[in-house]
Amino acid sequence: MDINWVYFSDTNTPPGEIKVLLEKKKFHLTDTNQTEKLHSLLGENNQSVLFIKAHTLFNVYELCQEISVVYPHVYIILIVPDNMEDLKKAMLMGASDTLRSSYNHEELSEAVDHAKKYMQHRALSDQKFVNLLKGNSRVIAVSSPKGGVGRTTVTVNLALAFSRMGKKVAIIDVNLQFGEAAMYYNMKPKRTIYEWVKEGYGRQNHSITQFMTTVEGNVSILAAPPRPEFFEGIQEEHIRVAIEEAKEIFDVVLIDMSSQLSEIHLRCLSISDEILLLSSNEISVLRLTKLYLETLESINLRDKVKLIINRYFKGHGLELNRIQEILRLDVFYSLPEQANVASSAIRTGQPFILSNSRSQLGKAVWKLSERLLELTNEEKSEKKEKRWFLIGK
């Protein structure tokens, strides 16, 4: 896959370290300060990554919006003055990432790696054998037997990370009495799963997307009912159909679970391809996690579980190897303790993948999303090889 790397600056500032880094990675960078040439470079290649550093003739955000409308396939990285960095605004204008003018080598390298991986994921999605149907989509349940462990926080930020990789992402909030997924994006849904059950369920001319709320980062949420008592009209079959319909439309469907295990929630787990089980290194949480795992084992769902240790801080509480011994399960991933980042994101209704993506927690969630997608691609390759093996026989 050939990526078209382009650098545009209206300040006559040379690309400098950007060009050096890309050349080390065996990539070629074309730079220009002329809009005519820029349009020519972007129009001739649908695998383009564009660095924009504009300040003199253009407002960097307005220029970004114009380019994203004309060339929606372009992955745009804005280079903005330190006091102007606003990832939320950048994404609304069509950017995929931002860099401060005072970026360091590590930040630049991360931005380049993210752009490269985005292009790779999109190239895979464009291949006919991968995306003939959205039936190849991935359903991931994010669960925990205890409230307050960070289930919704992980769900909403994972959704944004997948979206920034070029995936079409939905969240289904099945915490039907007290779900708050939309609130974490500072949104109050006008329509929810309650309205879908009343007006859209079983009606072919009513797409489930009509009852979803689209939030920043192009994530769609089928929100929980507006009042706790409304959950009584929602049944297991409704949830099954909602997930199946979402699979036909979205690449990734994230299910924000409740801490309880009703028939509805067990159905969600059985439909899911992966179960991300959130726990912590506290004894009380681990005790409940062990009971939860025993329940899943009794219904043959334990093999789907990927154990995530949230708010992990080395030297505090139990270490990972001890947790693995207690639960008889490997830790798939651990997310660092950064209470200030997580609480600020919840308080402002702006997930940290948007507001603080370069924090340790932001980087960890990004890497978790990459690892989950890598597993998905590996499984698809294995299925394809198996299919060709069977045909050959």
The whole-number pLDDT of residue 385 equals: 53
Tell me how far apart the alpha carbons of residues 232 and 241 are, in angstroms, rounded to a whole number.
17
Strand ranges across the sheet with 48-53: 29-32, 4-9, 48-53, 75-80, 97-100
pLDDT digits (tens, 9 = 90+) for 255-296: 999 988 889 999 999 999 999 999 998 899 999 999 999 999
Residue owning tokens 């969600």:
268
Domains delineated in the chain: 4-126 (3.40.50.2300), 134-368 (3.40.50.300)
The whole-number pLDDT of residue 260 equals: 86
Q: Say whether pLDDT at 100 is over 60.
A: yes
Tell me how far apart the alpha carbons of residues 45 and 207 are, in angstroms, rounded to a whole number.
34
Tell me how far apart the alpha carbons of residues 13 and 117 are, in angstroms, rounded to a whole number.
27
The whole-number pLDDT of residue 307 equals: 97
Q: Say whether pLDDT at 336 is over 80.
A: yes
Of 50-59, 91-100, 319-328, which has the strongest mean pLDDT? 319-328
pTM of the predicted model as reported, rounded to 2 decimal places: 0.77
Q: Say whether pLDDT at 83 is over 90.
A: no
Q: Say whether pLDDT at 125 is over 60.
A: no
DSSP character at residue 225: P
φ, ψ for residue 314, nearest 5 deg: -60, 130
DSSP code string of 47-79:
SEEEEEE--SSS-HHHHHHHHHHH-TT-EEEEE
Beta carbons of 274 and 372 less than 8 angstroms apart: yes
Q: What is the mean pLDDT of the chain?
A: 87
Beta carbons of 364 and 154 less than 8 angstroms apart: no
Q: Say whether pLDDT at 381 is over 70.
A: no
Mean pLDDT check: name the lowest of 152-161, 189-198, 203-212. 203-212
The whole-number pLDDT of residue 131 equals: 39
Tell me how far apart the alpha carbons of residues 59 and 95 are, in angstroms, rounded to a whole number.
14
Q: Say whether pLDDT at 205 is over 80.
A: no
List of E strands, 23-168: 29-32, 48-53, 75-80, 97-100, 138-143
Q: Say whether pLDDT at 217 is over 90.
A: no
Mean pLDDT check: name the lowest of 303-307, 369-373, 375-379, 385-389. 385-389
Percent of the chain with pLDDT over 90: 52
Alpha-carbon distance values, 286 to 51, 260, 314, 331 (Å): 46, 16, 16, 13
The whole-number pLDDT of residue 132 equals: 37
Please list, in sequence order, all residues whose beta carbon lies within 8 angstroms of the beta carbon of residue 187, skipping any fewer than 6 positions away.
213, 215, 221, 349
Percent of the chain with pLDDT over 70: 91
| Residue (of 18, 9, 11) closest to 38 by Cα position | 9
Q: Say whether pLDDT at 387 is over 60.
A: no
Query: How does residue 60 score in pLDDT terms, banded at 50, 70 and 90?
Result: confident
- Residue with the bigger pLDDT between 97 and 388: it is 97
The whole-number pLDDT of residue 130 equals: 39
DSSP character at residue 301: -
pLDDT digits (tens, 9 = 90+) for 129-179: 333 345 578 999 999 999 889 999 999 999 999 998 889 999 999 999 999
